Amino acid sequence: MNKYSFVTRMPDEPGALHRAAEIIKSYAGNINRIQFDRRIDPVTVFFEVTATPEGYCRIKEDLHAIGYLQESLPTLGFLRFTVYVPHQPGSLFELLTYITGAGANIAYIDFDERRCDSGRVTISLNVEETAIVESLLDRLKSQYRLDILEYDTTGENLDDTVFYVRFAQAVRGLIGTAEDEFLLSLLQDVNHIVQELNSLGQDPREVFECILLTGRTLKNTTGDRFYADVQRIPISDDVEVFCFQTPGGGSIFLLRAPEETVMIDTGYGIYHEDAVRMFQHYGLGDLKKIKRIYITHADADHCGAGGLFDATSYTHTGSREIIRRANRAYGSRSESSILEEVYTTVINLFSHFTPPENLEVFPEEKIGTRSIFPILARFTVHDLEFEVLESLGGHMHGQVYLFCPGHGIIFTADTLINFGSLDEDRKHYNSLADFLVTSVNVDSDCARQERKALLEMIRDLDEELAPTGRRCLVACGHGAISVLSNGKLEAIGPVEHYQAEKRGV
């Protein structure tokens, strides 16, 4: 017995759902999940069933035979027009006969003979092929006075009787060409998020909009619309750190030393080409010097471009497993969360997730302890010596911190974030993930404990560094490199705004 998913489009009539359930039962299938919401789409029903491979094939065959099984996602257009029919018996019937004969689906019709222009009929159609539209309009023009009010082939104005088709077309526009089978599978996943959040009282339409807005934000901040806030701060006489805050997602850090450049977190894959041009702008364009990448955790905005660099990536064994399993909740008490699993799928898709293949993992046995955190390894960047501290798994299983007490800098991943340094667009983008998974931390209690311990470590190091006039630099997963001042993170040094140049066609 295996688990299978499929999408159906059923007639809006009594007994339709019962008929589908009867077919599934007849082949010993067990319905594990079903979701239908007339408020979203009045004909689309999502199923997840357990059945034998043979039984599943027979179920699909029977559903296909009665026209229930949705196996494709046609590219639909939207047409709204007005025609004027003569005031005589059967005239409206004749008009509808033309439309039905053309294979068009009426989404809206408005007619009232009591109006002063009593012959006017306003109709909206959802149509699959441009040829159908042209043929139908030619036929109607030869018979009636006709005014075209709107004709759209992007899918943006389709009505809600084809809501999921419209959503799929919007996704296809964000990711490029995609096979129908892939999009139907994605719809299953997205629908599962809707079902879960709906049970928590969230508006299903807001769920869809958040998902699309995530993809649109990433796509619309690439190329000449890419920007970043940049800091460059000396850490020692020979090493300086660059912090690049990208439009969406986490910061990218580069440690420039005389003999090499070391990267800490990579940003999204979708920003890779833009980031490389930005590195060139700041004199960091020789990618051959980037031989090591340290990944703090497996979220797409921190490791999603790792596979695009010719460098060895180092990370926690838990991060490696999360990348392999495509579930950001793996290894946590939230591991079974549908929200976490599906969000991982969606964000990886929109962000062009390209994680490193050449992965080296830190040893699992600790070699010491720093505060409440095990020390897994040490490494050096020129004259800087770092400790790799294992988190408790509050934000994500396998997250690590990179601490250099000798020169006063700590990379805190997403446990500490200077929210005050984020602009409104970044804050809004970050809020989308919070909405879709209810919390970006897989274990909020652990996350609070981690934050408290890190802040104590930073305060202690500040006291040690006080005689030298230096401060502990806090390189947050998001936001500016900061210092701790009166319990709050404050950005340090100048922050330069980088804007990509417009490129010729």
Q: Comparing 435 with 275, which gets the higher pLDDT?
A: 275
Instruction: Please state, as a whole number, how many other Cβ atoms lie within 10 Å of the Cβ of residue 200.
Output: 8
What local confidence, expressed as pLDDT, does residue 155 receive? 54
Q: At what angle do helices 53-65 and 16-26 cross, to 10 degrees?
A: 150
The pLDDT-based confidence of 75 (bands split at 50, 70, 90) is low
| Mean pLDDT (whole number) for 126-148 | 79
pLDDT in tens, 180-224: 888 888 888 888 988 888 888 888 788 888 999 999 999 999 999
How much of the chain exceeds pLDDT 70, in percent? 96
Distances (CA, A) of 387 to 105, 243, 296, 396, 398: 64, 20, 12, 19, 15
- pLDDT at residue 175, as a whole number: 87
Domains within the chain, CATH numbers bracketed? 2-65 (3.30.70.260), 77-152 (3.30.70.260), 163-219 (no CATH), 223-499 (3.60.15.10)
* Stronger pLDDT, 330 or 41, i.e. the higher one: 330
The pLDDT of residue 396 is: 96
Reply yes or no on whether the pLDDT at 504 is more than 70: no
109 class by beta-carbon count within 10 Å (0-12 exposed, 13-18 middle, 19+ buried): middle
Question: What average pLDDT is seen over the chain?
Answer: 91
Arithmetic mean of pLDDT, 382-400: 97
Model's pTM, two decimal places? 0.83
Distance between CA 442 and CA 337 in Å, rounded? 9
Q: Which of 156-170, 288-302, 490-504 has the lowest mean pLDDT?
A: 156-170
Per-residue pLDDT reduced to its tens digit, 333-379: 888 888 999 999 999 999 999 999 879 999 999 999 999 999 999 99
Task: Over range 273-280, report the average pLDDT.
Answer: 97
pLDDT band at 158 (very low <50, low <70, confident <90, very high): very low
Q: With 50 as the cut, is the pLDDT of residue 447 above it?
A: yes
pLDDT value for 251:
97
Residue 205 pLDDT: 80
| Cα gap 361→318, rounded to integer Å | 9
